Amino acid sequence: MDKQTQGIILSARYVFPVASPVIREGAVFVRDGVIQDVDGLARLAKRYRAEVMELGNGILMPGFINGHVHLELGPMHARLDPGDDFPAWIFGIVKKRLTLSKKRAAEGVRQGIDVLIRSGVAGVGEISTMGIDRQPLLDAPLYTVLFRETTSVGRLLGRPYVGSATMEERPFLHAPYSTASEVYREASKRFSAYGTHIAESIDEYRLVTGQENNFSRRLGPLVRRDPAMCRSSSPVDYLYRLGFIKSGTTLVHFVHTDRRDLELASSCGAGIVLCPRSNAYLGVGLPDVGLLHAYSRLGIGTDGLSSNYSLDMMDEIRFLYLISRPVLKSRAEAFVIGAATIAGARALFIEDRLGSIEKGKRPGLIYLDTDVAKNLCLSIINTPSSQIKNLYATVFGPGNVAAG
């Protein structure tokens, strides 16, 4: 019997399923590309006739979910001045995209995928504008939600949204300041899952609520206040009134929001993805982790290199920890690891596939070759990417013997 039929048992000193307690001297049994069982090593070894791969004294856990990234913008790394306000940066992005070649964008995609894998990512929410990222991501040992970015009905409905065993395509409406209300309404009628940037800057909030703002000052008449915004109290309220926010909606950034905005998102079962390093880089503020930390569909993402220094997921995890620790104290560690795993999978509505070690899920597993302290979540946060082995890539990914 080969490994595909026989399966394989992965063992480590600590198995951290995330959705259930840590198992000391634990193991995970995988067969046919699916997690079949999770238990102590001794019990699994008796239960199944399978090869045992002993990983070491570190932590075996689910791979991370990078909920929001723009791989095609990799060549813009360190080339954009964030400027004095968000609309100025947006204008810079528009100009740079006009001169970005497909060859350079493709190089950025390949390099970005490599960084994602090396930093322990098993699932990714990629924003696709040029379409250059699709095939490299299909070929990569990742599960991808490919959000196809649009600002118009024509582009929204221009070609079918297809999927595969490792990828699903969804619409991504750029933002309220760039996308008309009719596009949001059309998406809500025709699709069950999609995403959008929302409440990223104070200027977006001011535009929606009819106040003076730098979008109108810098980019008018390219950016105009949609008449449907007239009765809205916030960008989130605006999309809620349009019927866009529902279960299956992923809301990215969620910075300039309040408790009512969270209640609207929560009442619909929407997902939220935070990108705190990007927000800090652009000077738009930081998400209110005190308000958001208990939300069950709250993930994190690196965003793109046009507004961040790296796509390394561990860098994002540690930054979120640093801004959460003063607010959440001893609850910060578990919050951050949850956002990077199961809550992040929920934010993309892929929790049936990834985010925790459970029977029936994909083997999106990583091993951290690290010293483990009493606080296991803090040990994960302190682990450098160089000490992460992405088993989804090296054991179960395309071309590997144990792949499903």
- Of residues 5 and 388, more confidence is placed in 388
pLDDT exceeds cutoff 70 at 4:
no
Residue 191: exposed, middle, or buried by beta-carbon count in 10 A (0-12, 13-18, 19+)? middle
pLDDT exceeds cutoff 80 at 78:
no
Can you tell me the distance from the alpha carbon of 291 to that of 47, in angstroms, rounded to the nearest whole number? Answer: 45
Which tens digits make up the pLDDT trace of 297-350?
A: 999 999 999 999 999 999 999 999 999 999 999 999 999 999 999 999 999 999
Can you tell me the distance from the alpha carbon of 323 to that of 278, in angstroms, rounded to the nearest whole number? Answer: 13
pLDDT exceeds cutoff 60 at 404:
no
Please state which architecture CATH assigns to domain 64-347.
Alpha-Beta Barrel (3.20)
Half-sphere exposure (CA, 13 Å, Cβ side) for 24? 3
Cis? peptide before 221, omega within 30° of 0:
yes
Q: Where are the domains of the chain?
A: 3-63+356-394, 64-347
SS3 for 147? strand
* Same fold across 3-63+356-394 and 64-347: no
**Beta strand spans in 32-183 (E):** 34-40, 51-54, 59-62, 64-69, 121-128, 143-150, 163-164, 167-173
Confidence band (pLDDT; 50, 70, 90) for 129? very high
Q: Give just the sign of the alpha carbon dihedral 146, 149, 150, 155.
A: negative
pLDDT exceeds cutoff 80 at 79:
no
Structure tokens at 382: 């302190």
Which H helix or E strand runs over 15?
A: strand 8-15
Of 220, 218, 256, 252, give the one whose Cα is nearest residue 84. 218
Which tens digits make up the pLDDT trace of 357-376?
A: 999 999 999 999 999 999 99
User: What pLDDT is stored for residue 397 in this prediction?
Assistant: 67
User: What pLDDT is stored for residue 398 in this prediction?
Assistant: 64
Domain 3-63+356-394 has CATH 2.30.40.10: yes
Which H helix or E strand runs over 316?
A: helix 313-328
Can you tell me the distance from the alpha carbon of 285 to that of 97, in angstroms, rounded to the nearest whole number? Answer: 25
